[in-house]
Amino acid sequence: MIWPKGIRETGLALLTAGVTLGLFMLDNSGLIRSLETASLDLRFRIRGAVPPAPEVAVILIDDRSLDALGRWPLSRRLLAKAIGALDDSAAKVIAFDLLFIEPEQPISPPLQTAIRKAEAALPGEQHEALRKTLHLFAEDDPDGEFERAIKASGKVFLPIAFAFDGPPRKGPNTLSDAAFQRFDKTSHEPEFALQPVSANVPLDRLATAAEGLGHVNIAFDRDGAPRYDYVVLPFEGDFLPSLPLRLAAAYLGIPWDDIGLTLGEGVSLGDTFVPTDSAMRVVINYRGPRGTIPTFSFVDLVAGRLPAAKLAGRVVLIGASLTGLPDANRAPFDNTPMPGTERLANIVDNILHRNLIRESPPPWPEVVIGLVLVLAMLIGVATAILPTRIAVLAGATGVLVWWGGVQVAFAYDLWLPLVTPTLSLIGAVASVLWFRYSIVDRQRRQIHSAFGHYLAPDLVNTLASHPERLRLGGETRPLTLMFCDIRGFTAISETFKANPEGLGRLINQGFLSPMTELILARRGTIDKYMGDCIMAFWNAPLDDPDHADHACSSALAMIDALGNINARLAAEAAAEGRRFEPLRIGVGLNTGDCIVGNMGSTGRFAYTAMGDAVNLASRLEGQTKPYCVDIIIGEDTHRAAANWATLELDLIAVKGKQEAVRIYALLGDDTMAQSREFHELKADQEAMLQYYGKQDWAGARAALDRLRQHAPTMDPLFDLYEERICFFEANPPGPSWDGIFVALTK
């Protein structure tokens, strides 16, 4: 079955892309996911760092702070002092990324008991100072000081850390107070991949003093990078928020009771809706590499060296970034680990400005499939209509278009898949190119191999592009056929007795090559070379409505070219010191129905034409010699190419045929045919033939005399008729004579 051009390629591209999409979308291995997350990191790098908004700042307890302030962990007195400094700087919200699950005890309980006993045992007022000192030691309470600072500030939030393995452990009542209070209607079923079994919660006194609690758990991707924040996690029937979500709500001034949880969809913070996936997580839109969020040293804060303007009105997160402390993880911009506190700050910034990245939210999965299939279809069409090399570029362009599209989508906080569509498009390109090379181009190569030697290159390309126009095995169609032969070839061969290779060059390069070019340039097909003879035809294998005109044009061009060919050959002969015999050719043209196609045996065949019209064309070429003209055409060619300058020669029965045909000499193009001189010549020739057919020998001879005056170069033809007239005057043919000349030679 012959398919319309491009249908097979388009169908194959769609099928390959669809199957590949389906397979990779079902693939649950880590390889595809790792490649996809690596592509996300690359998108961050291409986008570059984005200046953060002024709402968030980070305070880090760094190595410099420890050098100045002492051991780790720092005393909670210093943390209380930090809260006071932030209050003085008018920070709007304060959060700690530090767990306070155990009390701080400057001295051990047994020592504290001994100090109290020693204090009670001191006699008299003379030991009052010592008694006060011992009392301070015995009643030292850094947690109490920290608690009082938290209460006094009224805007401090503390972290929760959930555990997902180990024995289940019931959480304190303070967790229920920190859970979501309002639930909005939803039609989505949440899918919590992480199910905590226990919770590390701040000391009750600190949790109670804090404005709120939020978890700081990190969700690692398969490659070990923290790309998500779980806005909500379930625990003991409650749903607990992440710390960044609580901070953003506090910054926006939204009471916790007014924050609505829509399971499987997101969280409402007043007019701000934080969309999530079904697992209640969001993709972190990192603003840049480490240090992009304004970050300051803890020691500078407590020492009063930070200007209030750098912290006023901000959400300030206090955390730690110390050598050997594991709270730092990969970030997409470079290999420098980012402190966990800065990661939280990025999330707060994202929520406040509504630019958390969404990973293919509905309806994007269906849209992606549709777009990939459309690109695959376009790749199939392009591959079908473009040359192979350009088709490769077209396929690559489809992939690049997708890459550009996902990068543009990323600029709008949308994470569309890159790897699976890319593999699908590459699969579509590869399959179509394979089909192109193995099937389509193989057919083209076969056509080039079969027709490249006897068709013009542009015709071969056309035929290769439209193989449906080629019917192999033989078909009947009207052709105009040409036979061209060198006259006097024996005499020419004698000049090359000592140099047979030179004769080969003469025939191949001096004659066959230039004549072939003239034929091919006019849409002719070379059938075969027979020594010094060329057989060609027109109107096969491609349709050529003007095949007779093109054949006539080729024949005249070949005669005209002989002048330059002979001049070059004469120069070569003179240079070689041999006798020069100029080339003269005879051309026979005939038009008629023929069988044309691949003819031969199963092991060896050739594209050729056969039929009575072929034989007559060969006989007409043979008659150019006795009639002393260069080109003879049959009467069917004369009718098909009526605008050319032709002169009727005779009514002749060629050797091997009983039926007579009229033959014509082709003298020139339509310009000559319109000239007065040619009209006079043609009129006298027609008159001569009429007198000749009526056996009016005197009238025929008088017409011949006029013809000689019009065309003295055609005297050899006129001499032929003069000779016939003389013969018939001496030997009258009788009343039954029909004027047909029976040729005795080919």
> Is residue 343 domain-shared with residue 394, that is, in the same domain?
no
Whether residue 104 sits in one domain with residue 45 = no
Q: Which of 352, 375, 408 is the last residue of a domain?
A: 352
pLDDT in tens, 168-185: 888 888 898 899 999 998
The residues facing 318 across adjacent strands are: 59, 96
Residues 42 and 94 in one domain: no
- Per residue in 484-531, pLDDT (tens digit) is 999 888 778 877 777 788 888 888 888 899 999 999 899 998 888 888
Q: Are 473 and 598 in contact, with CB atoms under 8 Å apart?
A: yes
Is 426 within the bounds of a domain?
yes
Cis bond before residue 478 (omega within 30° of 0) = no
Question: Are 334 and 375 part of one and the same domain?
Answer: no
pLDDT digits (tens, 9 = 90+) for 582-626: 899 999 999 999 998 877 665 555 778 999 999 999 999 999 999
Give the up-direction half-sphere exposure of residue 611: CA atoms within 13 A in the CB hemisphere.
20
Selection from 232, 272, 218, 215 nearest residue 249 by Cα: 272
Measured between its terminal Cα atoms, the distance across the chain in Å is 46
In a domain, 582, yes or no: no
Q: Are residues 13 and 37 part of one domain?
A: yes
**349: Cβ–Cβ under 8 A, 6 or more apart, which residues?**
52, 53, 55, 56, 287, 293
CA distance 604 to 599: 9
Residues 6+ apart with CB under 8 A from 461: none
The reply to whether 346 and 381 lie within a common domain is: no
> Does any domain span residue 300?
yes
* Cα-based distances in Å from 584 to 188, 428, 646: 93, 59, 20
| Residue 92 DSSP SS3 | coil
Q: What are the beta bridge partners of residue 359? A: 415
Q: How many CB atoms lie within 10 A of CB 297?
A: 19
Overall residue count recorded for the chain in this entry? 746
d(CA 247, CA 724): 122
Answer yes or no: is pLDDT of 1 > 50: no
Query: Is 577 part of a structural domain of the chain?
Result: no
Q: How confident is the model at residue 124 (pLDDT cuts 50, 70, 90)?
A: low
Of the candidates 329, 352, 375, which is a domain's last residue?
A: 352
Is residue 743 domain-resident? no
DSSP string, 569-597: HHHHHHHHT------EEEEEEEEEEEEEE
Distance CA 595, CA 401 (A): 51
Q: What is the SS3 assignment for 357-385? A: EEECCCCHHHHHHHHHHHHHHHHHHHHHH
237: in domain = yes
The chain-wide mean pLDDT, for the chain, equals 86
Give the tokens for residue 214. 């939020």
Last residue of a domain, one of 299, 328, 352: 352
Express each pLDDT in 185-232 by its tens digit. 888 888 888 889 999 999 999 999 999 999 999 888 888 888 899 999
Q: Using one digit for the tens of pLDDT, what is the confidence trace for 128-169?
A: 655 555 545 545 678 999 999 999 999 999 999 999 988 888
Q: Are residues 192 and 230 in the same domain?
A: yes
- pLDDT grade, residue 2 (50/70/90)? very low
Report the pLDDT value the prediction gives residue 270, as an integer from 0 to 100: 87
Q: Are both 391 and 318 inside the same structural domain?
A: no
Backbone angles phi, psi at 131, to 5 degrees: -60, -40
Q: Do 202 and 129 belong together in one domain?
A: yes
Contact between residue 348 and residue 231 where contact means Cβ atoms under 8 Å apart: no
Residue 457 clears pLDDT 80, i.e. is over it: no
Question: Taking 90 as the threshold, does the pLDDT of residue 41 lie above it?
Answer: yes
Q: Say whether the peptide bond before residue 73 is cis (omega within 30 degrees of 0).
A: yes
What value does the mean pLDDT take over residues 114-126? 57
List the beta bridge partners of residue 238: 235
- Residue numbers of the domain that contains 435: 7-49+360-448
- Is 290 part of a structural domain of the chain? yes
Structural contact between residues 719 and 629, judged by C-beta atoms closer than 8 angstroms: no
Confidence (pLDDT) at 182:
92
Q: Give me the number of domains the chain comprises.
A: 2
674 in a structural domain: no
On the question of pLDDT at 456 being above 90, the answer is no
- 414-415 and 358-359 strand pairing: parallel
Based on the domain organization, do 164 and 286 belong to the same domain?
yes
d(CA 448, CA 299): 82
**319 and 435 both lie in a single domain:** no
Task: Output the DSSP codes for 214-239.
Answer: EE---EE-TTS-EEEEESEEEETTEE
Same domain? For 365 and 266 the reply is: no
